[in-house]
Amino acid sequence: MLYQCRECMSEYPLNTLEYKCKCGGHFNLKFNKSGYKPDLYKDVSNLSLWDYECVLPFNKEESRDITMMEGLTPLIPLEEDLYAKAEYYMPTLSFKDRGGVMLVLLAKKIGLSEIAIDSSGNAATSVTAYSTRAGVRCHVFVPEKTSTNKLKQIQAHGGIVHTVWGNREDTSLAVKEFITLNNIFYASHIYNPVFYHGTKTYFYEVFEQLGFRFPDIFIIPIGNGTLIFGAELAFLELKEAGYIQKYPKIIGVQAKNCAPLISEDPVSIKETIAEGIAIPNPPRKKEILEIVNSTGGYIIGVDEDEILSAKDGLAKKGLYVEDTSAVNYCAYLKIKENLTPSESVVIPLCGSGLKSNVKHF
């Protein structure tokens, strides 16, 4: 491999300290590789979650004006037997696009021109982005503490933001009052199962990316459980179709400061930097616990300083994620020494680090 001047054709070794040719010309890189042969049978026109159209509630054709070719995110080998699925490689920089596109397709299909959603940030960003593409007005209810970066993104997409003075639970009460008063469709990622048929593609993709098998363990962050409900669908469908015999284990993660699935004590709820999973009272708590238990898994809690140090650890590996996503790597570090040799783990990197700028308290 050599550099070659584009003007005088002089060649330089790779370790030259020159950054351009002595004659002033710029370098080309010269190396001996050629032989691109198009594989006429490889269909890359469909590289998105719409690959799984046959198990989705809508067709790729119906999604044509709305899809941003979401899905099919990379599975990055991080450590031996640990893979990170980089969900922030997504149109709105979080995994919520898997469900967001489905919810908006639903709104379109039933002929709505206006919808409302409440979220701590990422679900609303996604639903707003797709709504705008679909020509649907989207009211967004967010708690006051939402990262300003997420708010800017929602506003940029054209979302009508209603800031609620209070926590995530107050926000959910506010949207429910608003939809009842104004007769507006509640495009909820928490209640509407259409969303979960989007998030289930996360598991279909991992299944294929690992060579048509699941890892032993999926670590999954839990706020309202949207990824867990996707797991429930994918596991069931793949088992019924005979592709898996048993369920991989789900290890759920919550921030200890807001861990209603671990502790029953409501006074123990405090603020957490993991804003995306700061849900003091998840409406589907019982179902989430049932799903986790059905896989032989359990839920662990992580401390605030552990989250920050895991975030830093990931950044030092080149992956910059939002605080809420660092909880997953943090959970891995905590269970690591109890793993049996060759037990494989997949963690999701749900949101981009550029999203979180909530004050660290």
Ligand X SMILES: *Cc1c(COP(=O)(O)O)cnc(C)c1O
In the complex, what is the shortest distance from the CB of residue 78 to ligand X, in angstroms, rounded to a whole number?
17
In the complex, what is the shortest distance from the CB of residue 96 to ligand X, in angstroms, rounded to a whole number?
6
Is 10 exposed, middle or buried, given 0-12, 13-18 or 19+ CB atoms closer than 10 A? middle
CA angle 160, 195, 212 (to 5 degrees): 140
In the complex, what is the shortest distance from the CB of residue 200 to ligand X, in angstroms, rounded to a whole number?
13
User: Do the beta carbons of residue 317 and residue 76 sit within 8 Å?
Assistant: no
Tell me whether residue 5 or residue 302 sits nearer to ligand X (CB atom): 302
Tell me whether residue 63 or residue 325 sits nearer to ligand X (CB atom): 325
User: Do the beta carbons of residue 163 and residue 142 sit within 8 Å?
Assistant: yes
Give the β-pairing of 345-349 and 298-302: unpaired
Q: Which residues bind ligand X (CB under 6 A)?
A: 94, 96, 122-123, 221-227, 276-277, 322, 324-325, 350-351
Tell me whether residue 21 or residue 352 sits nearer to ligand X (CB atom): 352
Indicate the angle between helix axes 122-134 and 148-156, nearest 10 degrees. 10
293's enclosing H/E stretch is helix 285-294
CA–CA gap between residue 265 and residue 119 (Å, rounded): 24
Tell me whether residue 94 or residue 167 sits nearer to ligand X (CB atom): 94
In the complex, what is the shortest distance from the CB of residue 185 to ligand X, in angstroms, rounded to a whole number?
20
CA–CA gap between residue 115 and residue 107 (Å, rounded): 8
Tell me whether residue 116 or residue 222 sits nearer to ligand X (CB atom): 222
In the complex, what is the shortest distance from the CB of residue 278 to ligand X, in angstroms, rounded to a whole number?
9
In the complex, what is the shortest distance from the CB of residue 43 to ligand X, in angstroms, rounded to a whole number?
31
State how far Cα 317 lies from the chain centre.
Answer: 19
Over 235-292, what HEC string results? HHHHHHCCCCCCCCEEEEEEEHHHCCCCCCCHHHCCCCCCHHHCCCCCCCHHHHHHHH
Tell me whether residue 230 or residue 248 sits nearer to ligand X (CB atom): 230
